[in-house]
A and B are shown apart, each in its own frame.
Chain A
Amino acid sequence: MISGYPLYLLGRLGQFALVVFIGINIAFIVTHATPIDPVEQSIAAATQFGSTSPEAIALMRQSLKELYGLEGGLAEQYASFWRRVAVGDFGPSLSAFPTPVSVLIGRALPWTVSLLVVSTLLTWALGNLLGGLAGYYAKNRTLRLAGLLAMAFHPIPYYIVAFLLLIVFGYLWPVLPISGGYKMNMARDWSWEFIGSLLIHGILPVCSLALVGLGGWFMGMRSLVSNIVTEDYVTYAELGGVKRGRILGSYVMRNALVPQITGLAMSLGAIFNGAIITEQVFGYPGVGTLLVSAVHVGDYSLVLGITTVSIVAVSLAVLLIDLLYPLLDPRVKAR
């Protein structure tokens, strides 16, 4: 009879598989319910400016349906989709035919992941640190000012902050590049010059995400810490003469971090959705731009590929955190 942690593990694995299966099915239904037909989009793109006789259009429509493999019914497409997903193949992109979806995602993903991992971790670490300090040293003026700034930026819509940064550092005081992931015509050879270009091009996107995201973590952590500092064990430690730094680090922040770690895992999992507005505003390459463009042209192979990766990533992040929880918080194991 399995019991204890192995049983907990099996249960969570089962949940993970179910969530992924349901999520991917919903994605399949939604993408196939779109009114946008990739064949019509291709025909429009191929004929909207140049000269194509109407007689030729019907022939073109038929050829594209055959080429894109859209002739079978929905059930046939569903079975074929799962066969491909099982081996990690999402088939060819319909809007970049015949390039495989996995190749397109593979090209975009490293940019998105590096941008969002850096900005998420930076925001999380800074927000929690400042929030923890602000909650514990509630009367410190500098920390109160930091709290005020974080809260002031937090409700501003992201695109406004992004455009503000763009105008300030791209036009009024043009010290930072406003577009792209690195300088044009630069060899991607991991030379110092290339790495420097990558970093300088990442400053504005990362800062924009950090400025807006910081407030959430800050306020969450400050609120958690404010509650914890009133707990008996903290009062007891203070009365017992334990150093304040140690109380903050070992007694307060550590306990307050548990829900924040869950939030971090969710945020890291959501990275695979891309940062659509960031990519659009800063012309940064990534999955977000790919997803938007795929939706616009009804490329459901590509949309399904990206959403499947995202569903698996978020579910995996939640699973990992579920599995780690008992190690971090003994109360979970006890239940």
Chain B
Amino acid sequence: MRIWRYIAMFLFVGCLAGEASAQNTISNLPRKETLIVENPEGTIKNAGWFNIWAINAGGQSTGLHQLGMDTFWYIDPQKGVDGVWDNSLAADKPIYNADFTEMTVKLRKGIFWSDGVEFSAADVLYTIQTHMKTNGLRWSAPVQVNVAEVSAPDDSTVVFKLKKPNSRFHALFTVRWNAMWMMPKHVFEKAGDPLKFANDPPVTLGAYTLNSYDPNGKWFIWQKRPDWQRTTVARFGEPGPKYVAYVDPGPPDKRVIAQMNHELDIIHDVSPEGMFTLAKQSKTSHGWFKGFPYAHPDPTLPAVVLNAQNEMFKSRDVRWALALLIDIKAVSMASYRGAATISAIGVPPTGSAPDVYHAPLEAWLKDFEIDTGKRKVKPYDPTIGKQIADSLRPSLGEQIPSSADEIAKSFGRGWWKPNPQAAQELLERAGYSKKGDKWFMPDGKPFSIKLMVEGEGRPVMTRAGSMITQQWRQFGIDASTVVAQGSMVDRRAAGDFEAMITWSVETWGGHPDLSFFLDSWHSQFVAQPGKPQPPRNWQRWTNPELDKIIEQVRQTGFDDPKGLELGRDYVKLVVREMPTIPLMSYNVFTVMDDTYWTGYPNAATAPYTDPVPNWANTKYMMVKLKPKQ
């Protein structure tokens, strides 16, 4: 028996040693000085590639664009550290001439690359000229389409002469997730072909440099620059974490386990169920909202996108009928388990939009009428957000806000009240008919809709699609979901779908200008059936009134209040026409753990930025984070 005792003792000691070892996943770095963040890109195939200007050659949100890159301006998806707009490498806002054919940029002085070389207009010139003469770089095409000439009258001024008027040219250099980053001239000019240069290790403009990385792409560790004062974020203070590790933590269940073990400080996104588990079981974990629905509403608007080139969706009556058959409360429960922020209008309910669009248009929406041919109905129900909150309160108690303002921020305002009778009247006016319990199109064929969903890659949206088809089926429409999986991108671009759950509306978030997506909705960009459609008008919908709005926006300055009026005109138009059926914002369950760090952004007391850590804007989070212990 003695041998068994030895074996048992050996296993016990081994397990204790293992336990101690398993609690520390980083070697040779002080955990208390290290922030561990999920990189949603997962495992990077080509880990040793840090040339972000080459398309898809390596990772982007490995910390590379959050901590290493910089460009002229940032727009925050939320309130911003010091306002929504930040002049980063630029000393001031873009200066346009009267007809928007020239843009001048004044550069900030005293900013240095991580190898000690000062950043100057020469770097900007090099970046632009390299993109002008090299095809296939990430920003070659937009530079070649727009820039006629670039010059630097002095070391801190750059002048762009444009090929044609463009009042939003600065958007190319304004971070909303990412933007065109500046290249270190002194590195790249010695590197040969910029398409074949790995840029390992990268010389950075951000406050961090690369410390180490896994050649198999599982993790990347960045270290605070000793001269962080010579970077653009230094205006807001010293970045808190000395080290930041971006890791691939694996599937959602493992992310939850890793955070419960305090080995993952920021989860980028997790399933609603994972979020609820963490909220219940981990005292140190929290989301953007203190309680339910926890998630950060991204400035992205998932919707039922109806392919306008398909005959069955050409009638506005049909599109409206389909909207009136959707019970958004059930969709919210099916998709986000109630943790959705709904929006009836074509703007995501996040950032500045609720104040600029949702609240001011509430009265208009309440009065809005549709004519079914037999009667007029007011489809908007302003209480739906409250109804969702009320339905969740019995099970979640105090986590559910009670004030109208908080409910509107968390769950959204109103939506379209299900109205099958009005839907029937609209369909009948469009020439559709019901025989037995089935609907038929004007040509006599069954009214059949295939709703494309992405599948397991985006389960929340897939569940929303399944619920919507179920509701349409109950009404007598032969609706079914089609799971596109990896082919979704190709089929969406090719218009190879009837209807799909996706988003064709994305905004800046903090800034109310809608050109980020709206310009691409102009009819000049709509492709012929079968030809690839450029982002983002996936519905391929055209409307002369919309074209006029877009053309007016193009002639209006970015900050001109007239732009807001035009934005509201767009909202009213798409409510009337319903080219897509907006559902909700894309809620991201970013979960932050307070064990080692405090100062994360949150909706109530610190809405200084979007917490979703794959956004380049998270560089501002670093200066707010402080060690807990």
Distance in angstroms from B374 CB to nearest chain A CB is 41
Distance in angstroms from B303 CB to nearest chain A CB is 16
Contacts of A46 in B (CB 8 A): 55-56, 138
Please determine whether B43 and A166 come into contact, CB atoms closer than 8 angstroms.
no
Q: For the complex, is B261 an interface residue (Cβ under 8 Å from A)?
A: yes
The A contact surface, by secondary structure, is helix
In Å, the complex CA distance between A297 and B488 comes to 11
Q: For the complex, is A52 an interface residue (Cβ under 8 Å from B)?
A: yes
Please determine whether A170 and B257 come into contact, CB atoms closer than 8 angstroms.
yes
In Å, the complex CA distance between A179 and B135 comes to 39
Query: Which chain A residue has the least Cβ–Cβ distance from B24?
Result: A183
Q: For the complex, is A135 an interface residue (Cβ under 8 Å from B)?
A: no
In Å, the complex CA distance between A281 and B250 comes to 7
Taking a contact as CB atoms closer than 8 A, the residue among A107, A176, A298 that contacts B486 in the complex is A298
Please determine whether B534 and A185 come into contact, CB atoms closer than 8 angstroms.
no
Query: How many B residues touch the partner, as a band?
Result: 35 or more
In Å, the complex CA distance between A289 and B260 comes to 25
Query: Which chain B residue has the least Cβ–Cβ distance from A203?
Result: B18
Q: For the complex, is A260 an interface residue (Cβ under 8 Å from B)?
A: no
Please determine whether B493 and A51 come into contact, CB atoms closer than 8 angstroms.
no
Known A-B contacts A59-B141, A174-B261; A98 and B195 likewise in contact (beta carbons under 8 Å) = yes
Please determine whether B46 and A67 come into contact, CB atoms closer than 8 angstroms.
no
Query: Which chain B residue has the least Cβ–Cβ distance from A59?
Result: B141
Contacts of B28 in A (CB 8 A): 185-186
Q: For the complex, is B333 an interface residue (Cβ under 8 Å from A)?
A: no
Please determine whether A67 and B45 come into contact, CB atoms closer than 8 angstroms.
no
Q: Using a Cβ cutoff of 8 Å, how many contacts connect chains A and B?
A: 220
Contacts of B486 in A (CB 8 A): 36, 295-298
Distance in angstroms from B270 CB to nearest chain A CB is 15
Contacts of B216 in A (CB 8 A): 107-108, 111, 181, 285
From A56, A59, A193, residue with most partner B Cβ within 10 Å: A56
From A55, A67, A95, A108, residue with most partner B Cβ within 10 Å: A55
In Å, the complex CA distance between A178 and B140 comes to 42
Distance in angstroms from A262 CB to nearest chain B CB is 33
Please determine whether B176 and A50 come into contact, CB atoms closer than 8 angstroms.
yes
In Å, the complex CA distance between A61 and B251 comes to 32
Taking a contact as CB atoms closer than 8 A, the residue among B19, B58, B257 that contacts A178 in the complex is B257
Distance in angstroms from A30 CB to nearest chain B CB is 14
Q: For the complex, is B519 an interface residue (Cβ under 8 Å from A)?
A: yes
Q: For the complex, is A21 an interface residue (Cβ under 8 Å from B)?
A: no
In Å, the complex CA distance between A67 and B138 comes to 12
Please determine whether B177 and A60 come into contact, CB atoms closer than 8 angstroms.
no
Query: Which chain A residue has the least Cβ–Cβ distance from B526?
Result: A54
Query: Which chain B residue has the least Cβ–Cβ distance from A183?
Result: B27
Known A-B contacts A36-B490, A174-B261, A186-B28; A48 and B217 likewise in contact (beta carbons under 8 Å) = no
Question: Among B224-232, B241-249, B459-467, which stretch is in contact with chain A?
Answer: B241-249
Distance in angstroms from A201 CB to nearest chain B CB is 10
Residues 209-221 of chain B, each 1 if its beta carbon lies under 8 Å from chain A, else 0: 0011011111101
Number of A residues near B (Cβ < 8 Å) is: 76
Distance in angstroms from A98 CB to nearest chain B CB is 5
From 44 to 85 in chain B, residues with beta carbon under 8 angstroms from any chain A beta carbon are 45-46, 49, 54-58
Please determine whether B45 and A293 come into contact, CB atoms closer than 8 angstroms.
yes
Known A-B contacts A51-B516, A175-B18; A35 and B247 likewise in contact (beta carbons under 8 Å) = no
Known A-B contacts A44-B493, A179-B258; A96 and B136 likewise in contact (beta carbons under 8 Å) = no
Q: For the complex, is A66 an interface residue (Cβ under 8 Å from B)?
A: yes
Q: For the complex, is A184 an interface residue (Cβ under 8 Å from B)?
A: yes
In Å, the complex CA distance between A197 and B22 comes to 10
Contacts of B257 in A (CB 8 A): 166-167, 170-171, 178
Please determine whether A67 and B136 come into contact, CB atoms closer than 8 angstroms.
yes
Q: For the complex, is A282 an interface residue (Cβ under 8 Å from B)?
A: yes
From 256 to 288 in chain A, residues with beta carbon under 8 angstroms from any chain B beta carbon are 280-283, 285
In Å, the complex CA distance between A188 and B45 comes to 18
From 501 to 556 in chain B, residues with beta carbon under 8 angstroms from any chain A beta carbon are 506, 516, 519-520, 525, 532, 534-535
Residues 257-269 of chain B, each 1 if its beta carbon lies under 8 Å from chain A, else 0: 1101100000000
CB pairs A–B below 8 angstroms (27 shown): A42-B55, A53-B146, A53-B520, A55-B145, A57-B534, A57-B535, A64-B55, A64-B136, A95-B56, A97-B55, A98-B57, A99-B46, A99-B49, A163-B253, A170-B22, A174-B261, A176-B22, A177-B25, A178-B250, A179-B218, A183-B26, A183-B27, A184-B221, A185-B245, A285-B43, A285-B218, A295-B486
Interface set of A (CB-CB < 8 Å, partner B):
34-37, 40-61, 63-64, 66-67, 93, 95-99, 104, 107-108, 111, 163, 166-167, 170-171, 173-181, 183-186, 188, 193, 197, 200, 280-283, 285, 289-290, 293-298, 302
